């Protein structure tokens, strides 16, 4: 399970899309959310859009690995698709915040978690990126900037910290982390059998 977190505007969504486009061995965990779909978003592809009662049901029946309140809405990770992917030896990418990351680490699958936090080169640059998206009114940008300081304060809880001042280099570093983590002894399926056969001369 590979987590990418960052303050809004620091690049986690862009990095996620680029990583997914170039690596068929990893797929995105599709979150459930109570927020209204944006133009062009598809249910089941971008998010599983549910109402508050449905979300309550997912929480009550233990069907979410993690969930959190973010900007007045709730977001959560459905357990089933993640469990299925991991059992088949596939990697899953999570685009979630520090609250979700903490809950994932405490979950049953937490031992297979690798977390990366992306920092902006500066708060001024973060503000400029949020404004250049032209997706939010000024009061929402102000709220996102206030939340950014709180999110950044959790940087030390992550395994890897990257400063996203060069998107190409940042993506290269994320791919390097993913490659190294895949090569860890405990994640190489069939390695014990291979070594046994190697020593037996087969």
Is residue 13's pLDDT more than 80?
A: yes
Rounded Cα distance, 105 and 1, in Å: 10
Number of Cα atoms under 13 Å in the Cβ half of residue 40: 0
What's the pLDDT score for residue 108? Answer: 63
For tokens 């929480």, the residue is 59
Is residue 152's pLDDT more than 70?
A: yes
Structure confidence at residue 110 as a pLDDT band (50, 70, 90): low
Class of domain 2-199: alpha beta
What's the pLDDT score for residue 176? Answer: 97
Q: Are strands 64-70 and 73-78 parallel, antiparallel or unpaired?
A: antiparallel
> In the sheet where 32-33 sits, what is the strand order?
48-49, 32-33, 73-78, 64-70
What's the pLDDT score for residue 109? Answer: 63
Chain center to CA of 81 = 15
* Paired tokens of 64: 């979410």
């Amino acid at each position: 399970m590979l987590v990418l977190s960052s303050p809004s505007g620091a690049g986690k969504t862009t990095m996620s899309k680029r990583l997914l486009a170039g690596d068929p061995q990893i797929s995105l965990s599709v979150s459930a959310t109570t927020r209204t779909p944006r133009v062009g978003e598809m249910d089941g592809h971008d998010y599983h859009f549910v109402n508050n009662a449905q979300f309550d049901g997912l929480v009550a029946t233990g069907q979410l690995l993690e969930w959190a309140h973010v900007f007045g809405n709730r977001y959560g990770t459905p357990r089933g698709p993640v469990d299925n992917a991991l059992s088949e030896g596939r990697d899953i990418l999570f685009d979630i915040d520090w609250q979700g990351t903490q809950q994932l680490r405490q979950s049953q699958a937490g031992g297979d978690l690798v977390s990366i936090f992306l920092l902006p080169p500066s708060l001024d640059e973060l503000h400029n990126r949020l404004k250049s998206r032209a997706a939010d009114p000024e009061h929402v940008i102000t709220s996102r900037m206030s939340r950014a300081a709180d999110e950044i304060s959790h940087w030390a809880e992550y395994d890897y910290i990257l400063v996203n001042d060069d998107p190409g280099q940042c993506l290269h570093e994320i791919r390097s982390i993913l490659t190294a983590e895949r090569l860890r002894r405990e994640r190489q399926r069939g390695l014990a059998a291979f070594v046994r056969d190697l020593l037996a001369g087969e």
